[in-house]
Chain A
């Protein structure tokens, strides 16, 4: 009797399977299909095997974009994570100040990607932008369309401005979850401010931080709209990140085969890194389970 019902339950998830097929599997298989063929027109195509993959992996422009992408993601993580923790630690804990600060901090998160690009594009202009004008007034010839260092710094600054609040919010909620008794015990143990951070706050933040880092890594690795609007990938190709190279190839040059192959490589990289993070989280929780309280079955 129970068995019949279990089988019927499988039917119930059928719509879900169909949905997943349309939203993920079919588009993905299309890409796989393109990546192993050379398409001339609607009727002429050749099977190419792994040729596109080899071409792509050996393409120096793409290799450069990939390195640039890793450099970018690591840089913003290195800045945003400590900064986010710092902001969370400084945020007021209760009262109207807490709500006010929360709202202010959340504001950048509410702005769409391309709008962020536009805002910063205007902001950094030498003639009418407050920042661009300000820096020039200080005597530095700031120009994001000519100087790659300026362009890089500005994109990183923009990302830090846009996304640090996310880390700060996550950490803030993590900090709020620490019972007051921990702080009391630390005071009685005469722990320094640093020791409180190192031995109470940081360990309790690990879980939210892993989630934060994971989100920020995936996000930044796919960054497109902001630099596209701000610098257009220049000067030269100094701020051309992976997704932009891909778009140029697929839409600009209609190189469907290579761009399909590249999409897959791109996808696999993100999958791999995410998997590493996921395993890390899971292992951490396994440690928790052995130490946590037992519950009645």
Chain B
């Protein structure tokens, strides 16, 4: 059973790093609590695979420590870390039966055969593999194989964490949700820390209680799926989470307030104060397309905008419009149609967020 802590951890593949850009993982301290379901989410090249390999022990960090339950494990190879890993492509032992595959890790540590049978039966039952136990693993479908490789991690009593590396890549789309449910069931049943690495927001948000969003070697937000959607802490999270991502308006900070081009933007005076104090000229206003109000008629505080495109996505549509030369998007409900060339939009203050140097600022968090 383990709490996994990354302490002042950093990693570089360069022998003589000069700038932060040389680091695949920039210095971070991060804790994964015992028994939690976590995801590590980010685009390709953000450093999530490097981080995964550091946790599993395939890679040694160039700085800082990996700590499992207050024990520094930097030097320990994967086999001594009590972790299991499920890979992108199913890794199974082709020539063995499903039973022998599941029994393999136990037999390697010379577990008595009666105990092996008991554990395998238990795990096969949870994973719905019982009818397949006598089959050659080679002839299974991709989702069955992935269950077998997961099962090999679960049979061991001593496994304290399971790492998943994009485990559903090769699964038929129609079967994915069933496997996702299985993963959640397993998490609830076993008290095991699970870390799920993916570039897909659906995979991450469905599986995890908390998601670490990685961008350029850093965790830019660690929060629940709801927090990532409602309060993205970094512009990248706003962009990366949600389809389409958040709209950003570049603000000009003046004495009297914020403006977008010539358009004054009302903002809480305390936020304005923060913007003034930061002295930064990288100030953005973010609003998710879901929260942009769109009207057919002029209303109070609405802005007239030219409609560029309406994409009918079936259950809703995406309206693209232009404001001050910037292309923005709004989500329209299914029964909400915009017929004219112009629409009238409003950005409700409660749904807007202010970003200074790409990070979200909030009143009271200073």
Contact = CB atoms under 8 A, between A and B. Distances in A.
Do A and B have CB atoms closer than 8 angstroms in the complex?
yes
Nearest to A179: B89
A187 B79 CA distance: 5
A267 to B, nearest CB: 36
A185 B95 contact: no
Contacts of B87: 181, 184-185
Nearest to B83: A188
B138 A287 contact: yes
B287 to A, nearest CB: 40
Given A190-B105, A190-B108, A291-B139, A185 B79 contact: no
Given A185-B149, A190-B105, A199 B95 contact: yes
B95 A189 contact: no
- Overall SS of chain A's interface: helix
A200 B84 CA distance: 18
A191 B136 CA distance: 19
B145 to A, nearest CB: 9
A184 B59 CA distance: 12
A200 B149 CA distance: 14
Nearest to A191: B108
A295 to B, nearest CB: 12
A179, A189, A200, A293 pick with most chain B CB within 10 angstroms = A189
Contacts of A179: 89, 91
A181 B152 CA distance: 14
A187 B77 contact: yes
A199 B139 CA distance: 16
B318 to A, nearest CB: 29
A195 interface: yes
A192 interface: yes
A252 interface: no
Nearest to B85: A188
B56, B87, B94, B140 pick with most chain A CB within 10 angstroms = B94
Interface string B70-103: 0000000111000111011101011110000000
B170 interface: yes
B28 interface: no
A58 interface: no
A139 B162 CA distance: 63
A188 B58 CA distance: 10
B104 A290 contact: no
A85 to B, nearest CB: 16
Contacts of B108: 189-192, 195
A184 B138 contact: no
A203 B152 contact: no
Given A192-B108, A199-B93, A287-B139, A187 B88 contact: no
A203 B109 contact: no
A181 B109 contact: no
B328 interface: no
Interface string A258-297: 0000000000000000000000000000011011010000
A177 B93 CA distance: 16
Nearest to B159: A188
Contacts of A191: 104, 108
A203 B94 contact: yes
Given A287-B139, A291-B139, A188 B84 contact: yes
Interface string B32-76: 000000000000000000000000101000000000000000000
B91 A181 contact: yes
Contacts of B95: 199, 203
Contacts of B105: 188-190
Contacts of B84: 188
B142 interface: yes
Contacts of B170: 293
B91 A185 contact: yes
A199 B96 CA distance: 8
Nearest to A195: B108
B79 A190 contact: yes
A291 B91 contact: no
A81 to B, nearest CB: 18
Interface string A110-129: 00000000000000000000
A14 B152 CA distance: 57
Nearest to A189: B105
A182 interface: yes
B85 A200 contact: no
Contact of A200 (B89, B93, B109, B142): B93
Given A189-B152, A293-B170, A181 B94 contact: no
Interface string B269-306: 00000000000000000000000000000000000000
B104 A293 contact: no
Contacts of B153: 188
Given A189-B152, A190-B109, A184 B78 contact: yes
B142 A188 contact: no
A206 to B, nearest CB: 9
Given A190-B79, A200-B93, A203-B95, A185 B139 contact: no
B93, B152, B170 pick with most chain A CB within 10 angstroms = B93
A94 to B, nearest CB: 16
Query: Can you list the 6 inter-chain pairs with the closest CB atoms, starting with the nearest?
Result: A185-B91, A189-B105, A181-B87, A291-B138, A291-B139, A190-B108
Interface of B: 56, 58, 77-79, 83-85, 87-89, 91, 93-96, 104-105, 108-109, 136, 138-140, 142, 149, 152-153, 170
29 contacts: A179-B89, A179-B91, A181-B88, A184-B78, A185-B87, A185-B91, A185-B149, A185-B152, A187-B77, A187-B79, A188-B78, A188-B79, A188-B83, A188-B105, A188-B153, A190-B105, A190-B108, A192-B108, A195-B104, A195-B108, A199-B93, A199-B95, A203-B94, A287-B138, A288-B138, A291-B94, A291-B139, A291-B140, A293-B142
Given A185-B87, A191-B108, 18 more contacts: A179-B89, A181-B91, A182-B91, A184-B58, A184-B78, A184-B91, A187-B78, A187-B79, A188-B85, A188-B153, A189-B104, A190-B109, A199-B93, A199-B95, A199-B96, A199-B104, A200-B93, A290-B139
